[in-house]
């Protein structure tokens, strides 16, 4: 969960013109973050918990009309932390 006063970044953009409201993105999201009102062909899916997105890209992959674009935050694109630091250990 995001800390209080911390800006929440929306991890995916959904094109309202090409989305056919099929519910597949809601179904496949491994974190159950996307919510799509079942059988409602008017409403777009929404990311209910945007700060918990794993950026796995499954929603974008399964979308039959390519209506979803995953938007990576700057800190992920320009990550300067090396793998060893991320793992917290050095293999000998
Ligand atoms: S998978 Fe694509 S077309 Fe289907 S509801 Fe999600 S965004 Fe819309
Ligand atoms: S990128 Fe993965 S975790 Fe994030 S909303 Fe899409 S399916 Fe869910």
Is the beta carbon of 56 within 6 A of some atom in ligand 2? yes
Domain membership flag for residue 5? no
Residue 5's pLDDT is 53
Count of structural domains within the chain: 1
Q: What is the CATH number of the domain that holds 54?
A: 3.30.70.20
Instruction: Please choose from 27, 28, 29, 50 the residue to mutate so as to test ligand 2's pocket, defined by most ligand atoms within 8 A of CB.
Output: 29
As a whole number of angstroms, the distance between CA 39 and CA 37 comes to 6
Structural domain contains residue 2: no
**Is residue 58 in a domain?**
yes
Flag whether 1 is in a domain.
no
Mean pLDDT for back-to-back runs of 10 residues, the chain (92 residues): 61 95 95 89 91 95 97 85 74 60
pLDDT at 29: 97
For residue 47, what are the domain limits? 12-87
pTM exceeding 0.85: no
């Amino acid at each position: 969960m995001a800390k209080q006063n911390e800006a929440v970044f929306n991890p995916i953009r959904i094109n309202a013109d090409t989305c056919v409201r099929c519910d597949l993105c809601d179904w496949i999201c491994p974190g159950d973050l996307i919510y799509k009102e079942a059988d409602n062909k008017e409403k777009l899916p929404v990311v209910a918990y945007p700060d918990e997105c794993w950026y796995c890209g499954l929603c974008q992959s399964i979308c039959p009309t390519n209506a979803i674009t995953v938007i990576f935050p700057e800190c992920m694109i320009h990550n300067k932390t090396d793998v060893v630091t991320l793992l917290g250990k050095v293999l000998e």
